[in-house]
Structures are given as structure tokens and as C-alpha cells.
């Protein structure tokens, strides 16, 4: 079932305070509460991750040890901003964003951490269990790049970019509505961030 992350009982879950759901039609009070909780705490990077240079393609993250399916890789924290505020950011600042709802984006409050360099892949090994928690979709061996498909969280055209992941499933061009692709919906069922899973469910009715 799409978005049914809680059905994966084998996950090495963190305390509930880490996973804060955001609702598209939230009241002002709920929006305020969400902003408070998202900024409460520090971004979590799992032990055994390393930032590496990818030459002209920037940097990425690789595993320095084996990770089991369901292990938590990252839990992001920061400030929540709107799409209007996103449009005022530079390209480099936008690269630090994680979309957590239709008009809510998480941006780091501090210097970039290891997990902030996790790259997109059209054949990823990580997926979401809530708005900000990334886990291993399968066992990951030491030396593998840590990746997730940005279609799991992005729904806006402002995040379009050329892809160089070079996997057999590479889409070449990543755009904000890739979540609509039937192939991705099937492959990533249960791994989309909740706000994307809701869009998929709505589109199927």
C-alpha cells in the first residue's frame, strides 16, 4: 500500500519525536507546532557514512560499513520555509532543502552535515519512513553510494535537474512531477515521503 511505511515493522525506529507528520490543510496551530518540532533537535547522521569527492560532479556519501535493510540513515532537522521563500534562495541554498509537504521545505540551520550530501539516484538504496527519516531500503554493502530518488520527496518543478547517476534506470532529466510515473509508484510503494504518498493516492481515485 502506498505510503504505508508503518507496516515495515523491522525498521530500527527512532523515538516518535523524530517523525513529525505534516498535513496539507493544517490549522495555524498545527503549522506552528510542526515548525517547532522540525527545529527541535539536531540532524542525525548514522555512524559509518563518509562524504567523498565526485570530481566535477561535486560530492556524495558512501557507506563505510554494511547497513541492514531498515537501518536509519538520516533524520533531518532545520527550519521550515514556504515555496515563496524558496524562490528567493540561491541555487546553492536550494540544494540544502528537503520538501516535507506541498508548501513546506526543510532547510538546515547549521553547516552542512554528512547526510546533507546524499545524492539522487534513479536506482536508489534508501527511502523514507516519514517526512524527514531516511532508511535503507535493502542491505547496503560497505563502499556503496548512499542515495535516494528525489521523486520520493520532491513535487515542485523548481527542483528540475539533469541526472548523471548512470544506472540502467536513469531518467536523464529529473523533474518535479516524476512521482506521477507509474513505474516509480510501483517500485517505491511504501517508500515515498507521506506528502507524496498522499498525492499518489489522490491521483488514483
**160-188 confidence digits (pLDDT tens):** 899 999 999 999 999 999 999 999 999 99
Distance from chain centroid for Cα 72: 12
Residue 141 to residue 144: CA distance in whole angstroms:
6
Predicted confidence band of residue 75 (pLDDT cuts 50, 70, 90) = very high
Residue 83 to residue 152: CA distance in whole angstroms:
18
> Which residues lie closer than 8 Å to 37 by C-beta, 6 or more apart?
17, 20
pLDDT by residue (tens digit) across 5-42? 222 222 232 222 333 333 344 434 444 444 545 555 68
Specify whether the CB–CB gap between 19 and 129 falls below 8 A.
Answer: yes
What is the reported pTM?
0.80
Q: Report helix, strand and coil shares of the chain as percent, to nearest 5.
A: 30, 20, 50
Provide mean pLDDT across the span 145-160. Answer: 94
Specify the pLDDT at position 24.
40
For residue 143, the tally of other CB atoms under 10 A from its CB is 10
Higher pLDDT, 161 or 149: 149
Specify the pLDDT at position 151.
97
Specify the pLDDT at position 199.
96
CATH ID of 44-203, from 2.60.40.2470, 2.170.270.10, 3.90.420.10, 3.10.290.10? 2.170.270.10
Specify the pLDDT at position 38.
54
For residue 96, the tally of other CB atoms under 10 A from its CB is 15
Predicted confidence band of residue 159 (pLDDT cuts 50, 70, 90) = confident
Predicted confidence band of residue 157 (pLDDT cuts 50, 70, 90) = confident
Specify the pLDDT at position 73.
98
pLDDT by residue (tens digit) across 112-147? 889 999 999 999 999 999 999 999 999 999 999 999
Nearest to 71 by CA among 52, 40, 50, 45: 45
Provide mean pLDDT across the span 61-77. Answer: 97
Residue 77 to residue 74: CA distance in whole angstroms:
10
Specify the pLDDT at position 40.
53
The answer, yes or no, to whether residue 91 has pLDDT greater than 50, is yes
Q: What are the extents of the domains in the chain?
A: 44-203
Specify the pLDDT at position 31.
45
Q: What percent of the chain has pLDDT over 70?
A: 80
The answer, yes or no, to whether residue 148 has pLDDT greater than 60, is yes
Strand segments, DSSP code E, in the chain are 44-45, 49-53, 59-63, 72-75, 79-81, 97-101, 104-107, 119-120, 126-128, 133-136, 147-148, 161-162, 173-174
Specify the pLDDT at position 92.
77
Amino acid at each position: 500500500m502506498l505510503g504505508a511505511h508503518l507496516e515495515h515493522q523491522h525498521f530500527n525506529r527512532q523515538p516518535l519525536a523524530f517523525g513529525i507528520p505534516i498535513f496539507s490543510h493544517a490549522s495555524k496551530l498545527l503549522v506552528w507546532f510542526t515548525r517547532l518540532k522540525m527545529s527541535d533537535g539536531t540532524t542525525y547522521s548514522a555512524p559509518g557514512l563518509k562524504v567523498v569527492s565526485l570530481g566535477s560532479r561535486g560530492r556524495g556519501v558512501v557507506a563505510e560499513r554494511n547497513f541492514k535493510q531498515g537501518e536509519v540513515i538520516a533524520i533531518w532537522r532545520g527550519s521550515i520555509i514556504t515555496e515563496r521563500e524558496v524562490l528567493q534562495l540561491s541555487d546553492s541554498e536550494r540544494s540544502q532543502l528537503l520538501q516535507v509537504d506541498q508548501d513546506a521545505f526543510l532547510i538546515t540551520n547549521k553547516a552542512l552535515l554528512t547526510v546533507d550530501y546524499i545524492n539522487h539516484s534513479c536506482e536508489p538504496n534508501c527511502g523514507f519512513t516519514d517526512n524527514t527519516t531516511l532508511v535503507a531500503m535493502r542491505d547496503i554493502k560497505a563502499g556503496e553510494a548512499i542515495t535516494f530518488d528525489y521523486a520520493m520527496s520532491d513535487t515542485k518543478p523548481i527542483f528540475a535537474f539533469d541526472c548523471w547517476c548512470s544506472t540502467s534506470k536513469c531518467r536523464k532529466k529529473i523533474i518535479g512531477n516524476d512521482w506521477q510515473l507509474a513505474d516509480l509508484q510501483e517500485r517505491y510503494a511504501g517508500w515515498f515521503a507521506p506528502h507524496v504518498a498522499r498525492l499518489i493516492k489522490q491521483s488514483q481515485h
